[in-house]
Amino acid sequence: MRLMVSSTEDPAGQNIFNSLMEYRWEPTGKWRGNPIYERENDRIVTVNRHHIYEDGIDKKLSEILGPIDHMVFISKHASKAGIHSLTVHPIGNFGSAKFGGRDRSLVPPAPHEMTTALRELYDEAIRCGLTHEYEVSFEATHHGPYLETPTYYIEIGSDDRCWNDKNAGEAIAKTLMRSKTNVNDSDPVLLCVGGGHYAPEFTDVALDRNVSIGHMVPGWALKDLDHDMFSQGLKQSKAEMVMVSRDLPEDLTDNIGRWCDQKGVKMVDDEYIKRI
């Protein structure tokens, strides 16, 4: 079962939710006073506070709904730069938990489903004529909640007009409905290290190569990347290979190479990935 989560405090999440409701969902009960909706093997629930603070919501809902394969949080994205964006990202904290979750704790990222969602979102943005206004990309791993179920966020950014843009909400709703049938779970999974928050290098790899992306460690989190967090990123992503950004410092690249040798995984570049 795929479980999607929205928040009444999140205008973009409610925008996407409203577009999803056009696909004829059936109410099947309530949780915390809000309806639970069902459609085939999907469920949608709504929470009444920001979902980044809903640690353990997967366990609470699995007791009611049954086993959850993976979760998708539909959400707004906020950016000081004001970039208009449609983004997909894994969650967790390499360092301190400033925005939900737990310190130095990563959540399994659902690499195949998340990468498929990015590809579908990119294609849908083209079909809907949104690429002149919105950038479509991954974001690196960040924020809560802390969960043990594979999870990713899909978001509209990054101001009030974008959050309430019906066309953007419809594009994400269509992405979610299409992506569930197009997942290729045989592609190798990458743990990605370095680069900017919007992960342009790894976004391009996901769009053009036969791989799926797991956790992404951005440049701003490299200070927290030690052997323990590297190991956690590999384990939670179930990664078979590690890709490092072209601009990663040489000493850190050497460290990652040694960690890969210890873990028995390959450190690869784009030229290697092209041949997969």
Interatomic CA distance for residues 14 and 10, integer angstroms: 6
Contacts of 10 (CB under 8 A, 6+ apart): 50, 51, 74, 75, 76, 163
**Tens digit of pLDDT for each residue in 93-124?**
999 999 999 999 999 999 999 999 999 999 99
Report the 10 Å Cβ neighbour count for 120. Answer: 24
Interatomic CA distance for residues 186 and 172, integer angstroms: 24
Residue 123's Cα: distance from chain center in Å?
Answer: 17
Task: Enumerate the β-bridge partners of residue 35.
Answer: 30
Domains of the chain from N-terminus onward = 2-179 (3.40.630.50), 189-274 (3.40.50.10700)
pLDDT at 184: 86
Evaluate whether 73 touches 5 at the Cβ level (below 8 Å).
Answer: yes
**Tens digit of pLDDT for each residue in 131-189?**
999 999 999 999 999 999 999 999 999 999 999 999 999 999 999 999 988 888 999 99
